[in-house]
C-alpha cells in the first residue's frame, strides 16, 4: 500500500514537470513570434509600372532588390537611393523608372543616349549631345514624350552677318556749250563711282548656306556724275579746211559786180566812186544784199555750189542794189572780165557766229 501511494505521488510530480516544460515552451514560442513581428518590414517596389509587394527582414532596398533578383541599371531612376535603410513602422516604397535608348544624330555622328526622362526637352538637358540656341531638331517636337529607340537629328543652324560693297554707277550729264562747235564734245568733269555697303544675314544649316537676307544698305561714298559738254555752234568746213561757225545758213543766188561805171553808174572821179551804201570802200569781201533778208554789216561766208568756182569766202553785207532783192546777193570782184562771165550761180550763205 505504501508502495502504491509512492508511485501515485511520483506520477503527479512527473506530470507537473511536463506541464511546466510545455508551458515554458509555449511562452518561449509566443515571445519569439513577437520579436520576429517587430523586425519584419513591408516593401512595395514599382518597377516601371509592375508592382511587387513583400515582407522582409532585410535592412535596405538594395538587399531586397538582390533578394528579388531585380537589377537597377546605371541610367535607371530610383525614387530613393537603393542603400536607404528600411523602416519597420510604415510601408517602404521604391519606384524604378527604366532608361530607354534614344539615338541622336548630330555633326555627322550618331550617339546612343540612355534616358529615363519624360520629354525630348528634358532628355536634352542631360544629354551629352544637345541643340544650341539656333539649332533645329528633326524627328520630334521638344514637348513630345520619349519612346524607346526614338531617332532624332540635330541640324546645326548658325547665323552670321557679312558685309559686301559694290559700286554705285555715276550718271552722265550732258550740257550745251555755246562756245563749242556742233559735233564736238569734251569732258568737263570726270565721273567717279560711288561705294554702297550691303550687310546680309547669312543662315547655314550643317555648314551649307540656306538663306541670305539683306539687312541694311549704307552709302559709303556718293557717286560723282560725269559732265559732258557738247557744242551747239553750227559750223562748216570749207574746201580749204577752215572752220566756219555760223548761226544760220541760206541757199541763194549770186551775181558779181565791180566798182566800174558799167556796174555802178559812177565813173572814176565821182565823189562816191567805189563807195558802198554803208560808206565802206568797194573791195573783195564787201557784197550787196537785200537788207530785208540780210541786215547790213552782217558777216558771212559764201560757198559757191557749182563745183568748179572757188568759194567767195568770208565777207560782209556792206552794199545794196536795185536789182538785189530777196534771195539774191551781189559779189564784188576786182576783175571786170571775171564779173562779165560770172553769170548767176547757186551759193550757200553762212551767217557767221560772232560770239
Q: Is residue 33 part of a domain?
A: no
Q: What is residue 262's predicted lDDT score, i.e. its pLDDT?
A: 87
Q: Is residue 27 part of a domain?
A: no
Q: Are 153 and 111 a contacting pair, CB within 8 Å?
A: no
Specify whether 244 is located in the same domain as 187. no
- Full 3-state SS string of 258-287: CCCHHHHCCCCCCCCCCECCCCCECCCCEE
Cβ neighbours of residue 317 closer than 8 Å, sequence gap 6 or more: 287, 288, 289, 291, 294, 295, 296, 297, 298, 299, 300
Q: Is residue 19 part of a domain?
A: no
Which three three-digit cell numbers place residue 250?
541760206
Q: Is residue 129 part of a domain?
A: yes
Q: What is residue 20's predicted lDDT score, i.e. its pLDDT?
A: 56
Specify whether 120 is located in the same domain as 92. no
Say whether pTM exceeds 0.75: no
Specify whether 338 is located in the same domain as 265. yes
Q: Is residue 320 part of a domain?
A: yes
Specify whether 54 is located in the same domain as 75. yes
CATH number (domain holding residue 58): 3.10.20
Q: Is residue 328 part of a domain?
A: yes
Q: What is residue 175's predicted lDDT score, i.e. its pLDDT?
A: 96
Per-residue pLDDT reduced to its tens digit, 264-280: 888 888 888 889 999 99
Q: Is residue 32 part of a domain?
A: no
Last residue of a domain, one of 76, 97, 118: 97
Specify whether 338 is located in the same domain as 287. yes
- Domain span at residue 120 reads 100-155
Q: Is residue 145 part of a domain?
A: yes
Count Cβ atoms within 10 A of the Cβ of residue 61 and give its class: 0-12 exposed, 13-18 middle, 19 or more buried. Answer: buried
CATH number (domain holding residue 211): 2.20.230.10
Alpha-helical runs (H) found in the chain: 2-39, 61-68, 120-126, 261-264, 336-340
Specify whether 88 is located in the same domain as 113. no
Q: What is residue 33's predicted lDDT score, i.e. its pLDDT?
A: 45
Last residue of a domain, one of 82, 97, 112: 97
Specify whether 197 is located in the same domain as 295. no
Last residue of a domain, one of 129, 155, 181: 155
Specify whether 252 is located in the same domain as 336. yes
Specify whether 310 is located in the same domain as 335. yes
Specify whether 185 is located in the same domain as 149. no
Q: What is residue 5's predicted lDDT score, i.e. its pLDDT?
A: 44
Specify whether 245 is located in the same domain as 311. yes
The total domain count for the chain is 4
Low-confidence stretches of the chain (pLDDT beneath 50) = 1, 4-5, 12, 24, 26-35
Specify whether 177 is located in the same domain as 73. no
Amino acid at each position: 500500500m505504501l508502495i502504491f501511494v509512492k508511485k501515485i505521488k511520483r506520477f503527479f510530480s512527473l506530470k507537473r514537470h511536463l506541464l511546466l516544460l510545455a508551458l515554458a515552451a509555449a511562452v518561449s514560442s509566443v515571445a519569439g513570434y513577437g520579436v520576429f513581428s517587430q523586425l519584419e518590414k513591408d516593401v512595395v517596389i514599382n518597377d516601371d509600372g509592375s508592382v511587387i509587394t513583400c515582407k522582409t527582414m532585410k535592412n535596405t532596398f538594395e538587399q531586397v532588390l538582390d533578394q528579388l533578383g531585380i537589377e537597377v541599371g546605371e541610367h535607371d531612376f530610383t525614387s530613393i537611393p537603393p542603400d536607404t535603410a528600411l523602416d519597420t513602422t510604415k510601408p517602404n516604397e521604391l519606384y524604378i523608372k527604366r532608361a530607354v535608348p534614344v539615338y541622336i544624330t548630330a555633326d555627322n555622328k550618331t550617339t546612343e543616349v540612355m534616358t529615363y526622362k519624360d520629354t525630348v526637352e528634358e532628355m536634352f538637358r542631360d544629354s551629352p549631345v544637345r541643340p544650341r540656341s539656333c539649332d533645329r531638331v528633326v524627328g520630334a517636337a521638344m514637348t513630345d514624350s520619349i519612346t524607346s529607340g526614338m531617332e532624332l537629328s540635330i541640324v546645326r543652324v548658325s547665323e552670321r552677318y557679312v558685309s559686301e560693297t559694290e559700286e554705285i554707277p555715276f550718271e552722265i550729264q550732258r550740257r550745251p556749250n555755246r562756245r563749242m562747235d556742233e559735233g564736238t564734245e569734251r569732258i568737263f568733269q570726270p565721273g567717279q563711282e560711288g561705294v554702297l555697303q550691303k550687310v546680309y544675314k547669312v543662315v547655314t544649316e550643317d555648314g551649307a548656306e540656306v538663306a541670305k537676307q539683306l539687312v541694311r544698305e549704307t552709302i559709303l561714298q556718293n557717286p560723282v556724275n560725269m559732265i559732258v559738254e557738247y557744242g551747239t555752234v553750227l559750223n562748216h568746213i570749207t574746201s580749204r579746211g577752215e572752220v566756219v561757225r555760223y548761226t544760220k545758213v541760206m541757199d541763194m543766188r549770186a551775181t558779181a559786180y565791180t566798182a566800174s561805171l558799167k556796174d555802178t553808174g559812177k565813173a572814176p572821179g565821182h565823189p562816191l566812186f567805189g563807195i558802198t551804201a554803208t560808206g565802206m570802200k568797194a573791195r573783195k569781201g564787201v557784197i550787196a544784199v537785200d537788207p530785208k533778208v540780210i541786215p547790213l554789216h552782217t558777216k558771212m561766208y559764201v560757198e559757191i555750189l557749182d563745183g568748179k568756182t572757188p568759194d567767195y569766202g568770208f565777207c560782209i553785207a556792206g552794199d545794196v542794189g536795185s536789182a538785189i532783192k530777196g534771195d539774191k546777193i551781189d559779189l564784188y570782184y576786182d576783175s571786170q572780165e571775171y564779173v562779165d562771165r560770172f553769170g548767176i550761180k547757186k551759193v550757200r550763205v553762212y551767217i557767221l557766229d560772232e560770239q
